[in-house]
Amino acid sequence: MELPKPIPAEFEKSVDAALEAYYQGNASDAVDSLVEVYRKNQTIPSTCYLLALTAIQCGNLQLASEKVDDSIVKGERLSDALALKAAIEMEKSSTGGMGDPKVRAESLLRSAMAADFSNPRPFIELASLLRFQGRNDEARKLFEAARIRLNPVEGHALVETSLALLDFQQTPNDKLPSNLDPDKDTRSLISAAYIAMRKDNVIAVKDLLAKARQRLSFQLYEYLMNDPSIRAFSKNPQMAGLFRD
pLDDT of residue 2: 46
Q: What is the pLDDT of residue 5?
A: 58
pLDDT at 1: 38
Average pLDDT for the chain? 89
Inform me whether the pLDDT recorded for 171 exceeds 60: yes
Helices vs strands, H then E, count in the chain: 13, 0
pTM of the model: 0.73
In the chain, what are the helix, strand and coil shares in percent, each to the nearest 5?
75, 0, 25
- What's the whole-number mean pLDDT along residues 93-110? 78
* pLDDT for the residue 94: 61
Cα–Cα dist 7/25, whole Å: 24
Domain spans of the chain? Answer: 12-76, 82-149, 153-245
**Does 82-149 match 12-76 at the fold level?**
yes
CA dist 208 and 83 (Å) reads: 31
Q: In CATH, what number does 82-149 get?
A: 1.25.40
70 pLDDT more than 80:
yes
Answer yes or no: are the C-beta atoms of 114 and 136 closer than 8 Å: no
What single-letter DSSP state applies at residue 144?
Answer: H
12-76: in CATH 1.25.40: yes
Do residues 78 and 106 lie in contact, with contact meaning Cβ atoms separated by under 8 Å? no
Instruction: Say if residue 3's pLDDT is above 60.
Output: no
